[in-house]
Amino acid sequence: MEIFFLILKNIIFPIFLLIGLGAILHRIFKFDLNTLSKLNTFFLLPAVCFVNIYQGEISGQLITQIIFFCIVLNVLLIVVSYLIAKINGFDPGLSASFRNSMVLSNSGNFGLPVSELVFHTNPLGMSIQVIISIFQNLLTYTYGLFNAVSANAKGSKLIKEIVRLPVLYALLLAVLFRSLDIAVPGPVWKAVQNTANAFLAIALVTLGAQVAYLKIKRVSRSLLFAILGRLVLSPIVALFVIMVLGWEGTIAQALFIASSFPTSRNSALIALEYNNHPEFATQVVLLTTILSSLSVAVVVYASSLLF
């Protein structure tokens, strides 16, 4: 139990302190959320990706394992979320938002800072989370958009969104530099490292700003199912998959922890853009983010015991 409280104090509390400060600062100074989002997506996240893949001891085989796990886990979540929506008779718009809220996790603004604190002495754990974050980005702009957009808009919209993700090019560049044993010039490396170091604080302040004005009107059945699906069912399914595959150590720990992260803010943005019950989607993001302060701590603690 002592370890659990240490996790709350040393990992969860610092994260939610920055999220809280982000919410307060946004209420005072009215940040431009679009600018903050672009700063994270197009500047800080690619630097984090490059540094961790370039430095980390991660092989092609391990990347394949991670992607395989992500595919299996998310296919299972997609099937379960579809069945829940079907059984409960959700209308098409609510069904799309509900399924996205269960499947799309906040592996970037929330997941990477958590992993950075959990695996601060183990670069492999952080590298695994970077791969998961990239996978989640791809999932958002494929499955997530397929849920929301009309049939006529799918093809061009999906390709355009994926091609403009700079984190993919950062990943390819890092893999190329490692494969060819190319050394990054000292001044350039220092600049990239400093950029990557800024990610944790800026990402969490951004997340705080994004939820600063969200309000919960009522806890509906669909909202309750979405919260339980994201914070409870996802880690249980992930643990089952890890056990079946027989994985242990850092990879098992990192994958288990990654499965517990709250709903991605992108699910709310997609719902807003295509008018698929945006109020429901934003409420799921807010509540899963708040409740993850305990659920993620439990999963981190459990991972230390299991793996």
- Do residues 135 and 111 lie in contact, with contact meaning Cβ atoms separated by under 8 Å? no
- Do residues 249 and 307 lie in contact, with contact meaning Cβ atoms separated by under 8 Å? yes
- Do residues 136 and 142 lie in contact, with contact meaning Cβ atoms separated by under 8 Å? no
What are the residue ranges of helices labelled H in the chain? 2-7, 13-29, 33-39, 45-55, 60-87, 92-103, 111-118, 123-139, 145-148, 154-163, 166-179, 186-197, 199-211, 221-228, 234-245, 249-258, 265-273, 278-306
- Cα separation of 117 and 204, whole Å? 13
Average per-residue pLDDT in the chain? 88
Q: Residue 158: pLDDT band by 50, 70, 90 thresholds?
A: low
- Do residues 198 and 40 lie in contact, with contact meaning Cβ atoms separated by under 8 Å? no
pLDDT for res 232: 97
pLDDT digits (tens, 9 = 90+) for 223-246: 999 999 999 999 999 999 999 999
Listed as own residue / partner, the contacts of 166-169 with beta carbons closer than 8 Å and 24 or more positions apart are 166/41, 166/42, 166/45, 166/46, 167/41, 167/45, 167/46, 167/49, 167/133, 167/134, 167/137, 168/134, 168/137, 169/46
- Which pair of tokens denotes residue 281? 């989607």
pLDDT for res 162: 67
pLDDT digits (tens, 9 = 90+) for 270-292: 787 677 888 888 889 889 988 99
> Is pLDDT above 60 for 151?
no
For Cα atoms 50, 210, 300, give the angle at the middle one, nearest 5 degrees: 60
Greatest mean pLDDT among 41-50, 152-161, 186-195, 264-273: 186-195
Bridge partners, residue 263, by sequence: 105
pLDDT for res 271: 81
Closest among 257, 251, 271 to 123, alpha carbons compared: 251
- Cα separation of 283 and 260, whole Å? 18
pLDDT digits (tens, 9 = 90+) for 67-115: 999 999 999 999 999 999 999 999 888 998 999 999 999 998 889 889 9
Query: Which of residues 298 and 117 earns the better pLDDT score?
Result: 298
> Is pLDDT above 60 for 195?
yes
Count how many residues are written for the chain.
307
pLDDT digits (tens, 9 = 90+) for 1-18: 677 888 888 888 998 899
> Is pLDDT above 70 for 169?
yes
pLDDT for res 150: 46
pLDDT for res 156: 62
User: Terminal CA-to-CA distance of the chain, rounded, Å?
Assistant: 17
- Cα separation of 110 and 250, whole Å? 19
- Do residues 8 and 297 lie in contact, with contact meaning Cβ atoms separated by under 8 Å? yes
- Which pair of tokens denotes residue 199? 């990610």
Bridge partners, residue 105, by sequence: 263
- Cα separation of 137 and 45, whole Å? 11
Query: Which of residues 265 and 150 earns the better pLDDT score?
Result: 265
> Is pLDDT above 60 for 155?
no
pLDDT for res 83: 96
- Cα separation of 259 and 261, whole Å? 6
pLDDT for res 122: 85
Lowest-confidence segment of 36-40, 79-83, 173-177, 301-305 by average pLDDT: 36-40
pLDDT for res 21: 96
Q: Which domains does the chain have, with CATH numbers?
A: 2-306 (1.20.1530.20)
- Cα separation of 120 and 117, whole Å? 5
